[in-house]
Structure 1
Amino acid sequence: MQILPYTDTLAPHFAHINAAWIEDMFVLEDHDRHVLGHPREAIVDQGGVILFAATPDGTVIGTGALMPTATGAYELTKMGVLAAARGTGAGGILLAALIERARDLPGIDTLYLLTSRKCAAAIHLYERAGFVHDADIMARFGHAYARCDVAMRFPLDRPR
């Protein structure tokens, strides 16, 4: 598995992979459409990061982002793996790479994610990686998505 940084050439994979899982379980919201349609503008140009998981031959099978949302706060967002690649470990590898990138972002003090109880496998992955459920994150950021009923925070002071 290789981790690739964002390029405009890879942007269609970001949109396709995320639209597929969101539409499979939920409805694309206006915020989703904006971020998926304009990842450079919405994430990268704002100081965020988008990474891709690819097979050794370069086939993109997963993606995820770190999007700045407030001073010092980044949302781990739009993380998905193609249905055909689930169970390969790609999600865990991608999540670990995103956490490592987050630790190196200047001025970051909060790394969080918003999700839904319907995403039980993803929640389990996040918990294994060290994310903890957090009511303050829900109160501060949970309104961003209608589907959000779970908010989690990663303790950035946790050893690597």
Structure 2
Amino acid sequence: MLTIQPYTDALAPAFHEINAAWIADMFTLEPHDEHVLSHPREAIIDRGGVILFVQHPEHGVIGTGALMPTGGGAYELTKMGVRADVHGSGAGAVLLDALIARARALPDITALYLLTNSRCAAAIHLYERAGFVHDADIRVRYGATYARCDVAMRYPLG
């Protein structure tokens, strides 16, 4: 049984470890990544964002993801990753559903979007199944945040 846990400072190392592993495996950690992963309270929580963790009863924390405010009621679904040794466990879908539910509950949200890379095909498929749609305007407005961004998607909140 997978459970969702909210952010605590004690879980900050897991946030860093899980995300740094998949980013470094597929890409290069960029300065923006390093800042967010090293300072999740400052970069996300203290600004009104959310970080959630998915926990397995035997394996502990196996995944994490965040909703980071980017201004004007927009939130980026970001730093979502699941440990490589548990890929295929369904943890990503459970985590994504929990993040979307939390986003819908945010009082000031006007947009929910994500930035990714076409090499992350499994993740893109997961996002599409959850209802995210590809959006060129999101890529123009926010895509410069990461050099690796070549895919931008938004979630229809209405």
The TM-score range, normalised by the shorter chain, is: over 0.9
SS of the residue corresponding to residue 45 of structure 1 reads helix
Q: CA shift at 1:58, angstroms?
A: 6.9
Alignment of 1:1-150 (within 5 A): 1-57=2-58, 59-150=60-151
Letter in 2 for 1:118: R
Q: CA shift at 1:56, angstroms?
A: 2.4
TM-score, normalising length from structure 2? Answer: 0.98
Q: CA shift at 1:30, angstroms?
A: 0.2
Give a deviation string over 1:62-120, Cα, whole Å, max 9, x none: 00000001111000000000001110000000000000000001110100000000000
Mark the CA change 1:58 to 1:45 in structure 2 (over 3 Å): closer, same or farther: farther
Alignment of 1:145-156 (within 5 A): 145-156=146-157
Letter in 1 for 2:11: L
> What is the percentage of aligned positions where both structures have the same residue?
71
Paired with 2:105 and 2:58, the residues of 1 have a C-alpha distance of 28
Paired with 1:18 and 1:119, the residues of 2 have a C-alpha distance of 14
Q: CA shift at 1:57, angstroms?
A: 4.6
- Structure 2, unmatched stretches of 5+, are none
SS of the residue corresponding to residue 78 of structure 1 reads strand
TM-score, normalising length from structure 1? Answer: 0.97
Give a deviation string over 1:112-156, Cα, whole Å, max 9, x none: 000000000000000000000001100100000000000000001
Paired with 1:111 and 1:152, the residues of 2 have a C-alpha distance of 9
Paired with 1:10 and 1:122, the residues of 2 have a C-alpha distance of 23
Paired with 2:45 and 2:7, the residues of 1 have a C-alpha distance of 8
